[in-house]
Every structure is written in C-alpha cells, then in structure tokens.
Structure 1
Amino acid sequence: MALQISATNPEHPALLLDLPWDLPLEEWPDEYLVPLPRGISRHVVRYSRAGDEVIAVKELAERPALREYELLRDLDRIGIPAVDPLAVVTGRTDADGAPLESVLITRHLGGSMPYRSMFETTMRPATMHRLMDALAVLLVRLHLAGFAWGDCSLSNTLFRRDAGAYAAYLVDAETGDLHPRLSSGQREYDLDLARVNISGELLDLEASGALHPSVDPVEFGMEICARYRGLWDELTRTSVYPAGKYHYIERRIRRLNDLGFDVAEMQIEHASNGDTVTFVPKVVDAGHHQRQLLRLTGLDTEENQARRLLNDLESWMATQDDYAPGDPLGARPEVLAHRWVREVFRPTVRAVPPELRGSVDPAEIYHQLLEHRWYLSERAQHDIGIETAVEDYIKNILPKARKTLQPTAE
C-alpha cells in the first residue's frame, strides 16, 4: 500500500512528507523530535515539527486512528476543548517493505501540561482541587454534547493555566462515542471510570513520593464525582417558581452565566392553575465570557481569563471621558474595547520580554500582571499603576518563575 496522508488542511501533507515515516516512531532520530513532556499513553507518542507548528504524533492501528481522527473533528465542530486533529498517515512500511502502524497527528496544545509533569514538584492540595474542577467542567461539557468518553482520566487530559485556575482539554478520544443524547447510565459509567482512573493515577504518584502527604488518592477520586454532579444539576435541573416571579428565571440564568455557561434554549411552562411557572434550560453552551470578550475585542482566551479581562476592561471604560452608557453621543462599548486592546492590553503584554514570557499566552500574562499589581497595591495601600507593576514583575518575579512558565524537556 502506498503512503497516504489524510489532512484537514491542504498545506499539511507537503509539510509532513519530510518526516521519517519508514521508521517506527520509537526509532525516530532526535533531529525530528521536539523535547516536550509527555503523559502516559498506551501508544507510542512523540512531538515533532511540521513547518512552524509543533505536532503530536501517535502510533496506532489504522482503523482506530481513522476513527479517532473523525471523532476529534466532530468535537472541534461542536466546540469541545480537545486537541486539534491535523492528519492521519496510513500505508506506512519500513525499508524492507514490512508494514508499520498508522499514525494520528494532532496540533500540540501550546502552554499545556500533562498532569505528571505538573507533579514534578509536589503539588499543593488547593491546586489539585482546581484540576478536579477543570476536569469536572470538561466531562460535563462532553456529556452535554452527547459524547461518552469511555476513558476519562488525568492521563488523557492536558491542562492549561486559566487566570488562577486551569482549563482541561481532551487528548485521547480513542474509546469515545458521540450520541444525540446520553442516558443517565452512560454518564454514570463515565463518571465511575473517572473515579477509578484518577484514584489509581494518584496512588501511582503516592508510591513514587510525588504526592502531597495530606492528599488521599481515594478521596480525590471521589471528588470528581461530587463536583461533576453539582455542576450537572445546576445546568440541567428543573426549577418551579411562583407565577409572576420572572426575575427568578433571570437570576437562574445569571447564575449559569457566572459559571461560564449561556442558556441557548429554554422551556417555560405555566401550571394549569396559573400558580407556578416551570423553567428548564434545554440547551446550555459553555464559554459565556469567552464569547463576550471575543465579540468586544477580538481576543480569544480561556473562560476564566476572559472573565478577568472583562472586569479590567469595564473598570478602564468607566475612567474614559467619552464613556456614557445610554448616551447616543457616547462611545460604544465595542469602540472603547478596541481602544483598550490597542492602548492598554497590547502595550502591557509587549512590555514583557518574549524570552521571559516563554510559552505563556498573552491573556495569562496579562492576568498575572493584574494579580501582581493588586499585590503591590495592597502592600503599598494605594494603586501603584500597571507600568510599575510590569517593571517589578519583570525584575523580581519572572526570572524566578521562568522554569515553571515553560514546559521542561523530558
């Protein structure tokens, strides 16, 4: 069989042809590899480069490779946080003509970390709670979209910093299935697998001495269940309110917005006696603050980053002379938002040298600068200004934190 490359972008096959497809992935020379930390996988995985992009190359049989490729494309179409599928390479043979396994190629998720590399230094329990929150949100989003993961675990997830929290991305969709809707049994099966897998992964870390002594692996495995069920209930439960109390419905929607979700479709029914109103969110979409920030500024960020940047944007707009809500002669929010990007956000981020910024994205850098300004202002008992905060951050914080801001080589 001739070598075949099926790709999402017509430019990728030409960029991929130069890679040594006639060698098993384990035998690829160092000149083709990018030294990034890898998680545990049942398959051989290596990072390489295609043009200007870093790619993850996973070796597996042809049928599951093609299936996972299509599943990842489906997840991308419905807006689920997962790695981007780029190509599948089939028909590989070695120099003697013996067949080699196919490979699935995905785009490396910049600024992301597998959980094991995060435990190279003992992780505090508070940080682990934030990981559980991120994984619970990811699992809920998958289930709302009708995707049964079949192997939810820390190993099959990548984490990115998100304004003091983390955002979780699905890495391995090999065992997944997409349905119009999941049953309670399908969701509970996924949740039970997550509990068992996470407890087992943490027990491995405990055995290697990489787990904080106060962390109970079994309790943390149970925690994902509690956090998942609490979020699922908030997003899907039916509410019954007294007739005429429509502000209760608005309050419920705002609470969902605060959690980072929009109610795209709802069902409201009046009781036959007219005494009560039943409200059910029918379609719930994640990314409320992401969409709001993208609409106003064109910045594409994680959800918590968007929330933080929107707060800063609103505070800045209130200081502008031409900001007059409701005044037709005042500047529109979109105009002010683009001015904020041009005059505040971009100059602030560009003041941080790229060599110190590492792989951290601009929105996360800006969030960290805001945090540092708050800390310095609290210490000084007055607002020290963003310029002073940037100078102090570059001089005293970034040089010490550089190793943690950049992925370490394996």
Structure 2
Amino acid sequence: MNLATGPDPTDLLTLPWSVPLEEWPHEHLVSLPRGISRHVVRFATIGGTVYAVKEIAQETAQREYGLLRSLARAGIPVVEAVGVVSGRATPAGEPLDSALVTKHLRFSLPYRALFSRRLDHDLETKLLDALAELIVKLHLAGFAWGDCSLSNTLFRRDAGALSAYLVDAETGQLHPRLSDGQRDYDLELARTNLGGELLDLQGAGLLSASVDPITTAESVVDRYCRLWDELTRPQTISADEWDRIEQRLRRLNALGYDVSQIEVDEVEGRPEIFLQTQVVEAGHHRRRLQQLTGLDVGENQARRILNDLDTFRAQAVMPGTDVDEAEVARHWKSDVFEPVVALIGPELAAKLEPAEFYHEVLEHRWFLSEAAGRSVPLEKAARSYIDTVLRFRPDERAVLDPTLMGVGQVEAAEDS
C-alpha cells in the first residue's frame, strides 16, 4: 500500500484500507449530509478531524489530487486534498481501487441539505450567485470543470450569503487560459445539470412554488456573464478619465476580486485598459505592499494603496515596456507618496500616521472627483483634506499612546 499525503499521514494509517470502502465498520465513520456521487464515498473521523474518502481508480485519484492542490494554490475555493492511498488489497490479495482523501469542509452542506432545512427564504438567489461566482473563479484560473453542477459543490454560509466550494475535480482540466468555446461548454453543462437538479428538488417538494426550474437554470448563466464581463472586459478611456479606472477597481473590490495587473494599449489614439483579475489569499496585499515599499499597513489600506500604485504604473510606463515592479514602487514612493505626506507639516504630524493619511487622501480625492465629474489631482485633494478634515481631527498619537495620557484616563477610556 502506498499512502501519499502531507507531512503527517500517521492518523490515516489507522483506517481499514484492506477493506472495500462500502464495507468499512461503523466505528470509523460519521454520518454527514452528502451530495450525489458516482463513486462510493464515506466520512471517517480521526482525532476530531473528519475526512472524506472516495474510492476511485489510481490514475483518476492521482489526477484529481493534483488538480485540487493546484486550484488551492491559486486561491480557488476547493476542498483540501490530503492524499491518495494506492496499492490497496484485501487480506486474500484481491486488489482494491485507490482512495482519494480530502478534508471535510466544516459547516458546509450539499444543496439538497440546504433545501431540506430551508433556513433562507431567498435560498435560490444565494445559491445561484454562489455557483456563478465559483464557475467564474475556476475559469479565470484556467480550469475547465467539465461537470458543472450543484452536486459537485458544497455551500457554506458567509455573512448572510453563501460561498461555493468545488468538491469534485475528476472531469476537470487545467489550462493556462480557457477559450470561449471551453467556457461555453461548461456553461451549457451548468444549464443542463442545474435544470435537472432543480426539477429533482421540485419533485421532492423542496423547491419554492414560485421558482421555475428551467428559467432558474438559465439565470445562472446570465449571472455568470455579468460577472465575467465586469472582471474581464477592456475599457477605453481618454487622458483625463483615469478616475474611471478607480471606479472600476472599487467595483471589483466590492465583488471580492483584486487586480493583479493593469495593461495599457493604444486604440485609435486612446488608451485601452485591460485589468487582469485574480483571487488572492488573506494578507496578500499587506505583504505585497511591505515587500515593495516597506510600508506596514492594514490589509484594506494596503489594497487601496496598491490600487493607486498599479494605476501609477499604468500611467508612468509605456505600453509594452518591461519595467521591474520594485523599481516602479520606488519611484511611486519618492515621487507620489512622500511628497503628499510631506504636505502635512510638523504642526499636524501627530494627527495620523503617514500611511493612514495617504489612504484618507485617496478616499477624499474619490469624493472630490465624484462631485466634480472629473479626476482631481492628488496634491489638490491632499491640501483640501488637510484644510477641511485633518486640522479638525484629534491627535491620534495622543489617543493611542498611553505615555501621553494619565493612567486614570486610559482606564476610564477602556471602561467607557
């Protein structure tokens, strides 16, 4: 038997791998809601951790394991692939299929369990939004699913909405980039499979009477297309319309996406902007900004400042020119960030930390540009912020530093 897993496979060795999965004894198993599967699947619990074990052919198991790991590294919401058990055999020497082991996604449910419990009156809308977004994320990563369906997805509650996670990557293929035909094939499968699954729910009396299965299945494709267009369409602007790029970045951020690269090409004398989107891991923006500039700020601040840095690069670097990212960041810090921060002056230096001040200035410029209907220069926005906002703020350093306050004041502040 060969057990290929992460750094500590010891716990998994205790499972009865010489027994066919459908005959595993109950003391190793836990009962959990699960979706429809063409293979035998069991949930095993070891030391408080629940694993999903799927019995499949060795080549298929190895391939799916690799795909799940690759998608996870790309920041795609998938179940965590733990390992592959191959070379299995009964005590009598009869060969058994290999097993793919994944970690069960805590607090997640298959779609049928969600509809059975019916905790949300607008469950269909949340489910379709989550599935459409998952397909978009997979396609942006170059993954052709090949079996888009609710059955191959787990759903977990996320601040009132639902987040979708890929469970079954068996039929998928990973490419550098998908063609329109590959994406359309996945969408046609999604439309067909989703329609059948919703009809099945309707037959079981689990679907709201106001929901038409076929129309609803069609709508997931519409949701996908709207999101895909927002994330990938090129945008042509004139020389004084760079604030429109900032508006686009804000919409993408609100959707939970980030821009990893901005490309600029000339189209009939006007710049055409291509935004390359990606899903990134927690803390990514803070680490990236600190690596590039040495600035140590919060994650949301870093996201905002990096958007400004990327816009600076798109304006400063000629299209097609290969310029080192760190070199661009150095110029941005010396030519943009530091001159703006220097406008504060020593008399207002205790009001805000430099990075927070710059973030506030970017926000102030956004509102000024919206009101004026055009892009407001950064220096003008900074002076306006200093004169109309910063001067009237309390000294943040005094509020945060207990050495500048009496102990009684600190305790009173904490008590309040």
Which secondary structure does the structure 1 equivalent of 2:273 belong to? Answer: strand
Summarize the Cα distance change of 1:115–1:49 in structure 2 as closer, same or farther, 3 Å threshold. Answer: same
- Aligned pairs for 1:44-193 within 5 A: 44-122=40-118, 126-193=122-189
Which secondary structure does the structure 2 equivalent of 1:106 belong to? Answer: strand
Summarize the Cα distance change of 1:291–1:166 in structure 2 as closer, same or farther, 3 Å threshold. Answer: farther
Amino acid at match of 1:6: A
- Report Cα offsets for 1:87-129 as digits up to 9, x if no partner: 1001111232111111000011111111111111346562211
Partner residue in 1 for 2:191: 195
Partner residue in 1 for 2:22: 26
CA distance in 1, matches of 2:263, 2:234: 10
Partner residue in 1 for 2:261: 265
Summarize the Cα distance change of 1:226–1:290 in structure 2 as closer, same or farther, 3 Å threshold. Answer: farther
Amino acid at match of 1:4: N
Partner residue in 2 for 1:38: 34
Q: 1:278 aligns with which of 267, 272, 278?
A: 272
Gapped regions of structure 1 (runs ≥ 5): 300-325, 336-410
Which secondary structure does the structure 1 equivalent of 2:193 belong to? Answer: helix
Identity of aligned residues (%): 51
Q: 1:232 aligns with which of 200, 220, 228?
A: 228
- Report Cα offsets for 1:285-320 as digits up to 9, x if no partner: 135987569997799xxxxxxxxxxxxxxxxxxxxx
Does residue 329 (structure 1) correspond to residue 350 (structure 2)? The answer is: yes
Summarize the Cα distance change of 1:210–1:268 in structure 2 as closer, same or farther, 3 Å threshold. Answer: same
Partner residue in 2 for 1:363: none
Contact 2:283-2:299 within 8 A present in 1 as well:
no
How many residues align structurally? 302
Contact 1:125-1:215 within 8 A present in 2 as well:
no
| TM-score of the pair, normalised by structure 2 | 0.68
RMSD after superposition: 2.5
CA distance in 1, matches of 2:91, 2:56: 19
Summarize the Cα distance change of 1:53–1:296 in structure 2 as closer, same or farther, 3 Å threshold. Answer: farther
Summarize the Cα distance change of 1:188–1:54 in structure 2 as closer, same or farther, 3 Å threshold. Answer: same
Partner residue in 2 for 1:383: none
Shift, 1:329, TM fit: 3.5
Shift, 1:38, TM fit: 1.1
Moved over 4 A (4+): 122-125, 287-299, 330-335
Partner residue in 1 for 2:4: 6
Q: 2:251 aligns with which of 255, 266, 271?
A: 255
Which secondary structure does the structure 1 equivalent of 2:261 belong to? Answer: strand
Amino acid at match of 1:284: T
Summarize the Cα distance change of 1:291–1:214 in structure 2 as closer, same or farther, 3 Å threshold. Answer: farther
- Report Cα offsets for 1:173-208 as digits up to 9, x if no partner: 000000011000000000110110011011111111
CA distance in 2, matches of 1:269, 1:65: 44
Summarize the Cα distance change of 1:80–1:288 in structure 2 as closer, same or farther, 3 Å threshold. Answer: closer
Structure whose alpha-carbon radius of gyration is higher? 2
